[in-house]
Structure 1
């Protein structure tokens, strides 16, 4: 199909056509998992943009974040909203689909077409909490299986922000010959205690909702929407910056001139968070949220490679680019510096830049022109 997308670089620029194809791959063999189990009949839902060249050397794999999906530059089928990186992917944009064949796959454990807890098990019933606990490396195993099915031996680049950056690092460390370039944005090589703590608050909110029913809420009408909304609200706070929240909301009241002296959403920030939470429940599965956040919490690239992060990259011939943002307190610049030092110790070519932006962790999704230039420059090398 073809979607019409407007370039974000200028409101006066004409829309450009981007060729989008949606696919589902069913793996012919069981997918082994870090937890010791394996999954049969794994389905991977993915989208592609642009054309693969004759020698299959122009492929760019984009890895999405926790609540993202494969609809990186095409309208979301549930919400109808534009793709989550529409400002970055398309003809003439930093990830130029006139030049690159762009692939974005929904991760294992998610709920947008790839196999996850809402998928049917062999007995014809949804997995629910019978779904095995997965890791970031398991997600990347699915990506590698997809690349094998497409006949792509080596990517021009793998690109990811946040959890997507974890996947990019995992690919570089565990399948070092599968990408010539690795671009990691606003990410980390391991989850800190603070990161784990925020995720645990969200998981407990979901599991404390009576409608969660031990994860067996499929077919019972509404699931744990209240708990999932609270989880989303708590997480969304970590994606913002204090500066950004103050500038956008401050202590301004929401559609009123005085406080109600009650527990309605008096403040604009309260109303905003409630909207974010409720709208999230329309497109995301609560069990998927449990499994994906757990995968992120388990991520520790140094631990996977004997305790020394540099050893994770010992076999890599790729060049790396790391990007952080000065207002990101979820994955602060120090996390990217740690990765850069490890890459230097491993002898890998790496560039690193901290960009200034008021948006916090979500800066990689928003209008930061300096990021456009970094991505275009790095991928164009």
Structure 2
């Protein structure tokens, strides 16, 4: 999911907006960088679900909070980020945060998730690149980045760390957990793994188990990164600016971004328009939609890490709430809390059928909340009255 969305004016070239400085080998937050609004929880060893390493040692979680936990400790809300998100759900770009918050219209004073009323928490996942332990973090043995040594992590591994953070914060249960896309996967898993910690769920544009179609799109993205010679098997952190695996990650982002948008939106917005004065016929110029995709590829490479992209996409591939639990319906039958299952009507990555399966299997769901949007999957993040109204109604309904 594209959690760094910018709308480009139809008459403005994406190339004109692009930062022309060399792209760093990794856009990860690194030790010694300004912390910004981040707080840190030292978890220690994290037991791993699948990887033969067994445990991930010395795990640290970066998180942010807004508002105050009340005396009854019953006003806590957890916001679970999507693929390329982080703990900075709301707030400006500032020291320590290269971009503004990814859900600023929904989280804040007087907004649907009202930080004057609720104690709101968002954390960067294990494997992430914005303060939590991930491939760019120092390995405990030698202080060099983990790189290729970083283990395979699943959605369940991420959730174990989020459960530990919940207890560290003294939150007896989340009044609601809201998550779009990969965040929704984790919200589902928290409800299954630690039902006592969840009072209600907001599941947006997500699924109970990653489908073959979603695995196929993910496979192409992973292959693009690994095929970049500059990826160096995952050990690229010593490369100078401009020499990292930004080409492979950029191609992965272009593949992903295409799935985040509906075909009708891309066609209506760009058509066959040419970008600039050189006609693409003959292979020299580019179409406007090409410029748009390259813009997003460049932007992500400047704030993200190629190894983290791989680990998080692999984690999404691992997602199957029914694995080892008797199947999806058996696992979800145990989640009896109120659940709002939302789908964007033009989402071609996580289509309405995925939401319908969730809603049918969750005892506390009341059908699918369908949001009309021309945009597609990114409708979960792009500010719109429809999204604001849906989140506000859900939050007020469980208040």
Return the offset for 1:79. 6.8
d(CA) in 1 for partners of 2:39, 2:175: 21
Instruction: Please show how residues 119-198 of structure 1 align to structure 2 within 5 Å.
Output: 119-123=137-141, 124-198=143-217
Q: Which residue of 1 aligns with 2:27?
A: none
Q: Are the equivalent residues in 2 in contact too, given 1:318–1:348 (CA < 8 A)? A: yes
Q: Which residue of 2 aligns with 1:270?
A: 290
Q: Which residue of 1 aligns with 2:120?
A: 102
d(CA) in 2 for partners of 1:98, 1:79: 23
Instruction: Please show how residues 274-293 of structure 1 align to structure 2 within 5 Å.
Output: 274-293=294-313
Q: Secondary structure at the match of 1:353?
A: strand
Return the offset for 1:316. 3.0
Q: Secondary structure at the match of 1:64?
A: coil
d(CA) in 2 for partners of 1:192, 1:43: 31
Q: Secondary structure at the match of 2:323?
A: helix
Q: 2:348 aligns with which of 322, 329, 332?
A: 329
- The 10-residue stretch of structure 1 (49-58 or 320-329) with the greater mean CA deviation from structure 2: 49-58
Q: 2:129 aligns with which of 93, 111, 118?
A: 111
Q: Which residue of 2 aligns with 1:11?
A: none
Return the offset for 1:78. 6.5
Q: 2:104 aligns with which of 86, 90, 96?
A: 86
- The 10-residue stretch of structure 1 (29-38 or 39-48) with the greater mean CA deviation from structure 2: 29-38
Q: Are the equivalent residues in 1 in contact too, given 2:356–2:367 (CA < 8 A)? A: no
d(CA) in 2 for partners of 1:161, 1:211: 32
- Cα gap change, 1:158 to 1:304, in 2 (>3 Å): farther
Instruction: Please show how residues 349-364 of structure 1 align to structure 2 within 5 Å.
Output: 349-364=365-380
d(CA) in 1 for partners of 2:166, 2:252: 33
d(CA) in 2 for partners of 1:25, 1:247: 46
Return the offset for 1:121. 1.2
1:374 has 2:390 as partner = yes
d(CA) in 2 for partners of 1:119, 1:159: 28
Q: 1:61 aligns with which of 78, 99, 120?
A: 78
d(CA) in 1 for partners of 2:343, 2:215: 20
Q: Which residue of 2 aligns with 1:238?
A: 259
Return the offset for 1:349. 4.5
1:34 has 2:49 as partner = yes
Return the offset for 1:377. 1.7
- Cα gap change, 1:374 to 1:264, in 2 (>3 Å): same
Return the offset for 1:259. 1.5
Q: Which residue of 2 aligns with 1:303?
A: 323
Q: Which residue of 1 aligns with 2:244?
A: 223
TM-score by length of 1: 0.90
Q: Secondary structure at the match of 2:111?
A: coil
How large is the RMSD of aligned CA atoms in angstroms? 1.6
Q: Are the equivalent residues in 2 in contact too, given 1:240–1:360 (CA < 8 A)? A: yes
Q: Which residue of 2 aligns with 1:70?
A: 87
Q: Secondary structure at the match of 2:90?
A: coil
Q: Are the equivalent residues in 2 in contact too, given 1:59–1:155 (CA < 8 A)? A: yes
- Cα gap change, 1:265 to 1:365, in 2 (>3 Å): farther
Q: Which residue of 2 aligns with 1:43?
A: 60
Q: Secondary structure at the match of 2:322?
A: helix
Q: Which residue of 1 aligns with 2:33?
A: none
Q: Which residue of 1 aligns with 2:233?
A: 214
Structure with larger RCO (C-alpha < 8 A, sep 6+): 2
Return the offset for 1:367. 2.9
Deviation digits for residues 204-226 of structure 1, max 9, x if unmatched?
11111111111111122232111
1:253 has 2:253 as partner = no
Return the offset for 1:82. 2.2
- Cα gap change, 1:260 to 1:359, in 2 (>3 Å): closer
- Cα gap change, 1:94 to 1:351, in 2 (>3 Å): farther
Q: Are the equivalent residues in 1 in contact too, given 2:79–2:120 (CA < 8 A)? A: yes
Q: Secondary structure at the match of 1:230?
A: helix
d(CA) in 2 for partners of 1:362, 1:236: 9
Instruction: Please show how residues 6-25 of structure 1 align to structure 2 within 5 Å.
Output: 21-25=37-41
